[in-house]
């Protein structure tokens, strides 16, 4: 009996390994219909706290695939999205990445967050599958390997630009800095802000630590209340940002909050209400039907018609991510990741719906401008459009 169980376990293990091997690289075989297709995986949250990033990314990807297939497909094949839901959990991010690879995707778009992207990037790099994040802005992403890309505005470009704006245009000299210590994105962004604040001669008069998932911030705000400062730099996500600002107002402080695109979600004002009025968030894209032109305006109009809402940064970058991969496959004449990753890294002055993109020698995206948004009357308004000195 023992030998029989041992043999069964060995067979199951070999079958799993075979499935992973046959699912990696090259064109995908659609087992449901038998037709050859090119499979692109979606890695993101459709539920949970990060759904505000994942859902619009997937919507943008779906529009891109529809456009590609309507134009005749890619290399004579239809393109399909293989999707799953990691439910905003880091451990599930690894599991979903492995599932997508087993199902034969040639590329993965996602995750929109830095932490899960870094976990997934290690797996994709080992498997030889291209991973292109349409949102991860923290450090240590493309350094994973030559199959890893992203197409978003980087914090290392945006943080200095925003810091300069706060000082020169708003007159800020002293700030409070709030970091979520169990969030890679927040820890990395706080580091960048510390450096840029120092470069611009601005003082951090108090630093406070929180964690993702915290509900009460009374102690941190109390510690801040005795200090003199001009505003709060908050580097975490929107849920904690909204709750933090409610506590700020509850303790009678009138400072506003500034942060990165981790705050970029309607839930910021839905949870925070009046407490987040005046809060500022920087991003690499903002839907502006009156000011947009060309393919960006066309995308905004079609997205609004399809989904009944304006696209955000994640939707636009999800669309661009699929199109970048498709153009690289077409240029390579192959859907083998080992081949089209080489054409992808040669991308220069590529015009997407979210802006013009060039990949530098380190495969990092170079994008401009920075949009600084402000919460006003329960919605986003464009406070400033700031060019990046490249």
Q: Map out the domains of the chain with their CATH numbers.
A: 2-152+294-359 (3.40.50.2300), 156-283+371-386 (3.40.50.2300)
Average pLDDT over residues 144-148: 98
In angstroms, the CA 287 to CA 308 distance is: 13
Between the CA atoms of 207, 50, 306 and 291, what dihedral angle is there, to the nearest 10 degrees? 10
Choose the weakest-confidence range: 57-61, 136-140, 166-170, 296-300: 136-140
In angstroms, the CA 133 to CA 126 distance is: 17
β-bridge pairing 257-259 and 280-283: parallel
The model's pTM: 0.79
pLDDT per position as a tens digit, 325-370: 999 999 999 999 999 999 999 999 999 999 889 999 999 998 888 9
Q: Are 230 and 138 in contact (CB under 8 A)?
A: no
**What is the SS3 assignment for 388?**
coil
According to the model, what pLDDT value does residue 390 have? 62
- Average pLDDT across the chain, whole number: 91
């Amino acid at each position: 009996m023992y030998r029989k169980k041992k043999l069964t376990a060995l067979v199951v293990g070999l079958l799993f390994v075979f499935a992973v091997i046959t699912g990696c690289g090259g064109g995908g075989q659609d087992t449901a219909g038998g037709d050859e297709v090119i499979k692109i995986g979606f890695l993101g949250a459709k539920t949970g706290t990060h759904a505000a990033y994942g859902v619009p990314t997937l919507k943008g990807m779906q529009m891109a695939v529809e456009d590609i297939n309507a134009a005749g497909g890619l290399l004579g094949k239809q393109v399909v999205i293989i999707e799953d839901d990691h439910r905003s959990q880091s451990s599930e991010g690894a599991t979903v990445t492995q599932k997508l690879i087993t199902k034969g995707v040639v590329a993965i778009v996602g995750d929109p967050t830095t932490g899960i992207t870094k976990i997934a990037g290690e797996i994709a790099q080992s498997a030889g599958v291209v991973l292109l994040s349409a949102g991860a802005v923290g450090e240590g992403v493309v350094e994973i390997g030559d199959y890893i890309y992203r197409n978003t505005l980087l914090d290392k470009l945006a943080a200095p630009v925003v810091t300069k704006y706060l000082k020169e245009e708003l007159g800020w000299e002293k700030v409070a800095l709030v970091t979520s210590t169990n969030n890679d994105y927040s820890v990395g962004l706080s580091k960048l802000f510390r450096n840029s604040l120092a470069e611009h001669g601005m003082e951090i008069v108090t630093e406070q630590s929180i964690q993702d998932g915290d509900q009460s911030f009374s102690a941190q705000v109390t510690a801040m209340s005795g200090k003199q400062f001009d505003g709060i730099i908050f580097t975490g996500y929107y849920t904690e940002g909204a709750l933090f600002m409610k506590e700020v107002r509850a303790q009678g402080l009138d400072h506003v909050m500034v942060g990165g695109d981790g705050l970029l979600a309607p839930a910021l004002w839905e949870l925070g209400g009046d407490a987040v009025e005046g809060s500022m968030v920087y991003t690499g894209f903002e839907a502006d039907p009156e000011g947009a032109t060309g393919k960006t305006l066309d995308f905004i109009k079609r997205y609004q018609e399809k989904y009944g809402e304006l696209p955000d940064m994640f939707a636009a970058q999800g669309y661009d991510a699929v199109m970048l991969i498709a153009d690289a496959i077409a240029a390579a004449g192959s859907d083998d990741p080992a081949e089209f990753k080489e054409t992808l890294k040669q991308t220069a002055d590529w015009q997407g719906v979210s802006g013009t993109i060039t990949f530098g020698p380190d495969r990092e995206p170079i994008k401009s401008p920075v949009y600084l948004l402000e919460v006003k009357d329960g919605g986003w308004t464009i406070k400033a459009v700031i060019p990046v000195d490249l």
